[in-house]
């Protein structure tokens, strides 16, 4: 049975998966959602005997129903190959009573690689299927990790260009160096004088700008998105939750059908939404634990039913979660509002005009699978130090937020269910914050000396992604004001 996609804001009718991947964001500003969540049609036992690629196929075929078996398998084979530095693609590491699902073994050592290594292939296949001849221009706003992962995925892919906007002072030194050293004639990286929300709002505006669309359309360009609003990002992210369950089953850590908890360090709500979709496909999941940093707008929402972005924005040591407008939450809101675009529109209009919306008590019942928690900067650093001292295992700042929130949750509730913590970045990506958390004496060392020291204490080889940028020349040094973003795009596409 075919799955069709429509906008959370109700306009534009139903389209196929490949069309939704090409569009990225719906024309009315909404996000594409599947008309139903399909159920897994292979048993958990069978999944436990499968490789990552095989699980990927079993999950993705259910959502991308207009792709042929061959098309989808080709995309999967091209994505999940030796770009990943371990054969399991997403290994589980047991430490201190929980399983850390390491999602950072791809080209740019953050979990964004899990989806962005396949998105370019899905996009090119979608263009071919829909007879699109235009060059596809990927417009991306990044809080640090999406940018590099998208650049790595799309660089030199024929028929595409990619433009990345990042907050000039809002990413880690390693994140910035990774982006500004990106090769590929079809790539452009620009720092903006603003924060991530400004970058994301600026990009969304360009997607909705009819005049810009017409002007560039005449030159043979069309926009698409590599942000987590694209269902071509969301669907591949469901895979690793199913895979992690299958691995726990294979290793005898759980019984068939036993429910696990999943903890996700959250920013734009894409990763945890994928876990929610996995649960709705029939994966036995008890609680979905949503972990926030000091920008705890989601925690407050789960506590009160009020989503309120009118608050101070904090730059933290987990910059990929420094977000006050969690775009993918709209997909959950749409669902708990009974898949009603009118109600969703009302709430989103409140968010854009007043910066706040409130859901009803009835709607709040739809959130019962979720538990919200947060960790401040001190708690995050202490968690890194504690896990290292107790287990010799070094986690990054984002994972530490999740890890802390989980410990607090377990303490408070006594919940003993087997728990998977999404480990979203390698500690090598946030070396300074990680090493300072372990011992403040490290602050005196320079960035790459710290990398070597981390390798020593963690007994982990320095990842290629970091080796590569040690001496790489800066290629992109453009910085612009928020309102100049459309002209930056025009100039690049001249």
Handedness of CA 7, 9, 10, 12 (dihedral sign): negative
**Residue 241 found at the interface with ligand PLP (CB under 6 A):** no
What's the DSSP call for residue 51? -
Rg (Cα) of the chain, in Å, rounded?
A: 21
Handedness of CA 184, 187, 188, 189 (dihedral sign): negative
**Residue 267 found at the interface with ligand PLP (CB under 6 A):** yes
148: three-class secondary structure by DSSP: helix
- Minimum distance from residue 274 beta carbon to ligand PLP (Å): 8
Dmax over CA atoms of the chain, in Å, equals: 61
Nearer to ligand PLP, 111 or 276 (CB): 111
- The residues, ordered by sequence, that sit 6+ positions from 455 with a Cβ below 8 Å of its Cβ are 428, 461, 462
Phi-psi map region of 256: left, alpha, beta (phi>0 left; psi -120 to 50 alpha): beta
**Residue 145 found at the interface with ligand PLP (CB under 6 A):** yes
User: Which region among 31-39, 208-216, 261-269, 450-458 touches ligand PLP (by CB under 6 A)?
Assistant: 261-269
- Minimum distance from residue 213 beta carbon to ligand PLP (Å): 26
Residue 168 CB: number of other CB atoms within 10 A?
16
List the structure tokens of 439.
Answer: 């011992």
**Residue 424 found at the interface with ligand PLP (CB under 6 A):** yes
**Residue 110 found at the interface with ligand PLP (CB under 6 A):** yes
Nearer to ligand PLP, 150 or 451 (CB): 150
Burial class of residue 185 in the structure, from the number of CB atoms within 10 Å of its CB (0-12 exposed, 13-18 middle, 19+ buried)? exposed
**Residue 321 found at the interface with ligand PLP (CB under 6 A):** yes
Among 170, 232, 265, 463, binds ligand PLP (CB under 6 A): 265
**Residue 117 found at the interface with ligand PLP (CB under 6 A):** no
- Minimum distance from residue 52 beta carbon to ligand PLP (Å): 20
Q: Which residues of 120-129 are buried (b: 16+ CB within 10 A; e: fewer)?
A: bbbbbbbbeb
User: Which region among 56-64, 119-127, 209-217, 259-267 touches ligand PLP (by CB under 6 A)?
Assistant: 259-267
x/- letters, 362..401, toward ligand PLP (CB under 6 A): ------------------------------------x---
Q: At what angle are helices 119-129 and 69-79 packed, to 10 degrees? A: 150
Residue 460 CB: number of other CB atoms within 10 A?
14
Among 16, 293, 320, 380, binds ligand PLP (CB under 6 A): 320
Nearer to ligand PLP, 48 or 172 (CB): 172
**Residue from 49, 61, 112, 378 carrying the catalytic annotation:** 112
**Residue 6 found at the interface with ligand PLP (CB under 6 A):** no
Nearer to ligand PLP, 319 or 341 (CB): 319
List the structure tokens of 298.
Answer: 């989601």
Rounded Cα gap, residues 428 and 183, in angstroms: 21
Among 228, 230, 317, 455, binds ligand PLP (CB under 6 A): 228
Among 268, 293, 294, 317, binds ligand PLP (CB under 6 A): 268
Nearer to ligand PLP, 320 or 345 (CB): 320
Q: Which residue has the tokens 């990398």?
A: 451
Nearer to ligand PLP, 160 or 228 (CB): 228
Q: Alpha carbon of 392 to those of 136, 140, 388, 401, 449: distances in Å? A: 45, 37, 4, 18, 20
- Minimum distance from residue 238 beta carbon to ligand PLP (Å): 12
Instruction: Judge whether 408 and 386 are in contact, CB under 8 Å.
Output: no
**Residue 112 found at the interface with ligand PLP (CB under 6 A):** yes
**Residue 426 found at the interface with ligand PLP (CB under 6 A):** no
- Minimum distance from residue 237 beta carbon to ligand PLP (Å): 8
Residue from 214, 218, 226, 208 nearest 137 by CA: 226
- Minimum distance from residue 398 beta carbon to ligand PLP (Å): 4
Does the annotation count 112 as an active-site position?
Answer: yes
Residue 474 CB: number of other CB atoms within 10 A?
12
Nearer to ligand PLP, 228 or 433 (CB): 228
Bridge partner list, 33? 6
Q: Which residues are catalytic?
A: 112
Site residues for ligand PLP per CB under 6 A: 110-112, 145, 228, 265-271, 320-321, 398, 424-425
């Amino acid at each position: 049975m075919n799955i069709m996609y429509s906008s959370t804001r109700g306009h534009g009718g139903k389209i196929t998966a490949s069309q939704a991947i090409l569009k990225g964001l719906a024309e009315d500003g909404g996000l594409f959602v599947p008309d139903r969540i399909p159920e897994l049609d292979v048993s958990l036992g069978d999944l436990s005997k499968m490789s990552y690629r095989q699980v990927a196929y079993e999950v993705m075929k259910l959502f991308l129903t207009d792709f042929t078996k061959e098309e989808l398998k080709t995309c999967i084979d091209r994505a999940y190959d030796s770009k990943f530095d371990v054969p399991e693609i997403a290994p589980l590491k047991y430490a201190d009573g929980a399983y850390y699902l390491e999602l950072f073994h791809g080209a740019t050592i953050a979990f964004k690689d899990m989806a962005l290594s396949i998105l370019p292939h899905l996009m090119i296949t979608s263009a071919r299927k829909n007879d699109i001849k235009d060059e596809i221009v990927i417009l991306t706003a990044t809080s640090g990790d999406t940018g590099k992962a998208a650049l790595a995925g799309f660089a030199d892919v024929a028929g595409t260009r990619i433009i990345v906007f990042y907050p000039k002072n809002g990413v880690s030194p390693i994140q910035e160096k990774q982006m500004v050293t990106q090769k590929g004639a079809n790539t452009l990286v620009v720092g903006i004088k603003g924060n991530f929300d400004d970058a994301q709002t600026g990009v969304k505006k360009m997607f909705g700008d009819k005049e810009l669309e017409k002007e560039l359309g005449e030159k043979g360009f069309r926009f698409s998105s590599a942000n987590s609003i694209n269902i071509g990002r969301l669907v591949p992210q469901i895979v690793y939750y199913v895979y992690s369950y299958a691995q726990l089953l294979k290793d005898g850590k759980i019984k068939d059908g036993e429910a696990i908890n999943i903890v996700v360090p959250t920013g734009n709500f894409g990763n945890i939404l994928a876990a929610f979709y996995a649960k709705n496909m029939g994966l036995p999941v008890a609680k979905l634990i949503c972990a926030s940093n000091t920008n705890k707008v989601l925690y407050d929402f789960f506590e009160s039913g009020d989503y309120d972005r009118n608050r101070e924005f904090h730059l933290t040591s987990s910059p990929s979660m420094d977000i006050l407008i969690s775009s993918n939450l709209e997909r959950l809101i749409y669902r708990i509002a009974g898949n009603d675009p009118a109600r969703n529109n009302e709430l989103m209009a409140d968010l854009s005009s007043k910066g706040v919306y409130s859901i009803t008590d009835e709607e709040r019942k739809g959130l019962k699978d979720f538990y919200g928690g947060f960790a401040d900067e001190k708690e995050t650093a202490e968690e890194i130090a504690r896990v290292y001292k107790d287990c010799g295992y070094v986690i990054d700042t984002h994972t530490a937020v999740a890890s802390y929130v989980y410990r607090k949750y377990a303490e408070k509730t006594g919940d003993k269910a087997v728990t998977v913590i999404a480990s979203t970045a390698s500690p090598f990506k946030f070396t300074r914050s990680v090493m300072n958390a372990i011992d403040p004496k490290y602050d005196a060392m320079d960035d790459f000396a710290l990398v070597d020291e981390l390798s020593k204490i963690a007994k982990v080889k320095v990842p290629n992604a970091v080796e590569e940028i040690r001496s790489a020349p800066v290629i992109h040094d453009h910085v612009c004001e928020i309102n100049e973003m459309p002209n930056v795009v025009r100039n690049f596409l001249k």
